[in-house]
Structure 1
Amino acid sequence: MATPAHRIVFANEKGGTGKSTTAVHVAAALAFRGARVVAFDLDHRQRTMCRYFENRAETMQRRGIDLPTVECHVAEDMDEAAFEDFVAERADGADFVLIDTPGRDDPLARHAATTADTLVTPMNDSFVDFDLIGQVEGESFKVKKLSFYAELIWEARIKRGRSQIEQNRTQMDWVVVRNRTGHTEARNMARIEQALAEMSKRVGFRVAKGLSERVIYRELFPSGLTLLDKGHLGDLGTSHLVARQELRGLIASLRLPGGPAAPFEVEAAE
């Protein structure tokens, strides 16, 4: 039986967590490895991820350059079965299927999350975002209950574990990515770390450090360029180099199949 494409799903029912930005850069990093990546944008209203790669194609044409890129499709108004047919048709032969979900509760997004080989949940370092996966006591900040979303993923992992041999898939790896940690007050950061550690033991996710520098990512969107596009970004300031290193660290922490990506192996030369 052929090994199916590794499915990476970026999901968070709260907006403003850097989900699409993280998804785009992970997709680009995989493309830099030489992998064939087919992406699906489930937010057919904003379609941020697909717009990013459309901007990238326009930049390549305008500048006459060739960059690793990603085939991106928008999924509009379809149920779970139709979506899976849509993915199967367009991602045949792909190494990775990457799905970016909308920052709101959505039935198709819930379905996509439960099908992930790697589920990435970016969150800002605040208890507002933590509430997506669990609730804490107001005084002690200890976790008192799982959220609906955490229970959904927990049940999906159990179900998948029972049938993973028949499906030729491994157990789901759930990674909670902490973005914007530099904007968090130290005491609050420690409380969030404690709550995440407690919650991770209950539902089995890993915690990874994400992206703290956000301005450069917003600036890159119109061109569709990424921090990996060396030689096409002009002069980079110190903060931009730090952001690139954070991105390298995030990619490594996701432990995706295929080994380290080529653009992450030349840091010492910079």
Structure 2
Amino acid sequence: MIVTSLSAPHAAQRIVFANEKGGTGKSTTAVHVAVALAYQGARVAAIDLDTRQATMHRYIENREETRARRKIELPGPVCEVFRGTTVEELEEQAIRLARNADFLIFDTPGRDDPFARHVATEADTLVTPMNDSFVDFDLIGQVDAESFKVRRLSFYAELIWEARLKRSRATIEQQRRQMDWVVVRNRTGHTDARNQRRLDQALGELSKRVGFRVAQGLSERVIYRELFPSGLTLLDKGHLGELGTSHLVARQELRSLVAQLNLVVPKAAPQRVLAAEGTA
């Protein structure tokens, strides 16, 4: 569980959504977690590091347009795109946004990127979404073709492992938070049983070696793509119209994921009142 630093009791907790492979549901997960935290009363800011697609930033722009058009309250993050060229500029932007935030979220591009590597190593909570396939697993570890046992760590896993070791030493010396690395398994419903068992075994083995936790993520659902133009999320009860049973299940998946991240919202934050479960 994340605790507040003693040296900076009001410092924003950094949550980084990072995966060097695209198509893992990273931005969708980041947006929904940001909105979930805002609904709990947290002040949330976000930086989109994907300057080309800027999916998270576009989502929040759409959300602001819907809020203004419908004249409704839609809690969410303040989101900016990083347009700088140096790590120093990125840190200046992060520090500025963090002054008025409890959580600072980074959405990173689905490719190798120096700024994404930087924020990943500085994360308080690093969230790595992945689809349930060995193509995605290869990002963090390589397995034997016959036994499916982990042969070696990937470059990315080694990078995070070294960052966590460095953070462990700094935790005592500089009173920094320890990094919590969470691998989120998205789209598990599209994996056959045998492949899922093999992935369970490989993730379990690798998690013991490098110290990440495994969380169940979001299923593949059309509604996530349908909500993008309006900027709405499954948490926006009362603004979504008629929802089917599968959408209510998806909402519960999202709540479960947020709970598994163990993020601590300040007690003073006033929670928004949500409609009762089962209503739109």
TM range (shorter): over 0.9
What is residue 260 of structure 2 aligned with on the other side?
A: 253
Q: Distance in 2 between matches of 1:63 and 1:266?
A: 18
Q: Which moved more, 1:180-189 or 1:92-101?
A: 92-101
Unaligned 5+ segments in structure 2 are 1-6
* CA contact 1:121–1:177 (8 Å) conserved in 2: yes
Residue 76 of structure 1: aligned partner: 83
2:8 aligned partner: 2
When residues 252 and 267 of structure 1 are mapped into structure 2, their CA distance, relative to the original with a 3 A threshold, is farther
- Counterparts of 1:211 and 1:70, CA distance in 2: 20
Question: How many positions carry a matched residue from both structures?
Answer: 270
- Give secondary structure in 1 for the equivalent of 2:237: coil
Please give the alpha-carbon distance, in whole angstroms, between the structure 2 residues aligned to 1:38 and 1:25.
13
Partner of 1:112: 119
Superimposed CA distance per residue, residues 7-50 of structure 1 (whole angstroms, 9 cap, x where no aligned partner) = 00000000000000000000000110111101000001100001
Deviation of 1:258 after TM superposition, in Å, equals: 2.1
Residue type matched to 1:199 in 2? L
Residues 35 and 95 in structure 1, CA contact (< 8 A), matched pair in contact too? yes
d(CA) in 1 for partners of 2:33, 2:83:
23
Which shifted more, 162-171 or 241-250?
Answer: 162-171
| Structure 2 counterpart of 1:59 | 66
Offset of residue 53 of structure 1: 0.5
Instruction: Read off the aligned partner of 1:2 and give its amino acid letter.
Output: A
| Matched position secondary structure for 1:178 | strand
1:207-257, CA deviations, whole angstroms, 9 ceiling, x for partnerless residues? 000001321110000000000000000000111111101001101100001
Amino acid aligned to 1:148: F
Q: Pairwise mapping of residues 1-270 of structure 1 onto structure 2 (< 5 A)?
A: 1-3=7-9, 4-258=11-265
Q: What is the CA–CA distance in structure 2 between the aligned matches of 1:267 and 1:248, rounded to whole Å?
A: 14
String of CA shifts for 1:164-220, please: whole Å, max 9, x gaps.
234332210000000000000000000000000000000000000000132111000
8 Å CA contact 1:213, 1:243 repeated in 2: no
In structure 1, the gaps of 5 or more residues are none
TM normalised by structure 2 equals: 0.92
* Amino acid paired to 1:191: R
Q: Whose helix proportion is higher, 1 or 2?
A: 1
Task: Name the amino acid aligned to 1:101.
Answer: T
Moved more, 213-222 or 110-119: 213-222
Q: TM-score, normalised by structure 1?
A: 0.95
Partner of 2:3: none
> Which stretch shifts more, 62-71 or 118-127?
62-71
- Note if contact 2:237-2:274 (Cα within 8 Å) is conserved in structure 1: no
Deviation at 1:69, TM superposition (A): 1.6
Contact 1:213-1:239 at 8 Å conserved across structures: no
Answer with 73-82 or 241-250: which moved more.
73-82
Greater shift in the superposed pair: 113-122 or 80-89: 80-89
SS at 1:169 equivalent: coil
Aligned mates of 1:161, 1:249 — CA distance in 2: 28
Q: Structure 2: how far apart are the matches of 1:247 and 1:233?
A: 16
| Distance (whole Å) between structure 2 residues aligned to residue 257 and residue 190 of structure 1 | 32
Give the drift of 1:66. Answer: 1.5
Cα displacement (A) at 1:80: 1.4
Task: Note closer, same or farther for the CA distance 1:108–1:265 as it changes in structure 2 (3 Å cut).
Answer: same
| Range that drifts further, 22-31 or 84-93 | 84-93
- Root-mean-square deviation (Å): 1.9
Q: What percentage of aligned pairs have identical amino acids?
A: 70
Structure 1 residues 123 and 263, CA gap change in structure 2 (3 angstroms): farther
Paired with 1:2 and 1:22, the residues of 2 have a C-alpha distance of: 28
Deviates more, 1:169-178 or 1:122-131: 169-178
Quote the Cα distance in structure 2 between the aligned partners of 1:243 and 1:118.
Answer: 23
SS in 1 for 2:73: coil
